[in-house]
Amino acid sequence: MSTPHDNSAAGLTQSARALYQRMLAVALEEARLGLAEGGIPVGAAVFHQDGTLLSRGHNRRVQQGDPSIHGETDAFRRAGRQRSYRDLVMVTTLAPCWFCSGLVRQFRFGTILVGESRNFDGGLAWLRASGIRVIDLDSEECAEMMAAYIHAHPDVWNEDIGELPSAT
């Protein structure tokens, strides 16, 4: 049985790994943009399986004061209506929270490509159990950016993932 930290990218061909790295680079650009805006550094993008970019977005909860604007929801909204999502790839720098995992499951994305799940594994096990292909690239850059943010802004991070504030 898969666990949230399985390295599902281990069996990828060299060409598939290169394609997924290019996709993740777009989401990373969005994460850096969000961080530069003073927000949570989670970026996302929606691609066709062949690597054609459909949309991109980033977490804007802090910037816009809207708790529903996560990276994945921003990219999803910018993609517009689609007849089907089964042949699309949701790319995100961090494993999706339950809210975003629900979006991926509800609209039946065929694949979710995750930059990292070390800092937060969200709903990956549930997505795998639901038949969604989960590819975790275990990106050092994604993990370091998120760890630094969590360390510097633990209260904002906990709010983002729906955790109670730490007791003092």
Place of tokens 């994305």: 109
**Which are the catalytic amino acids?**
72
The span from the CA of 80 to the CA of 156, in Å, is 29
Q: Report the largest interatomic distance among the alpha carbons of the chain, rounded to a whole angstrom.
A: 50
The span from the CA of 45 to the CA of 88, in Å, is 10
Residue 11: burial class (beta carbons within 10 Å; 0-12, 13-18, 19+): exposed
CA 16, 29, 122, 74 torsion: positive or negative? negative
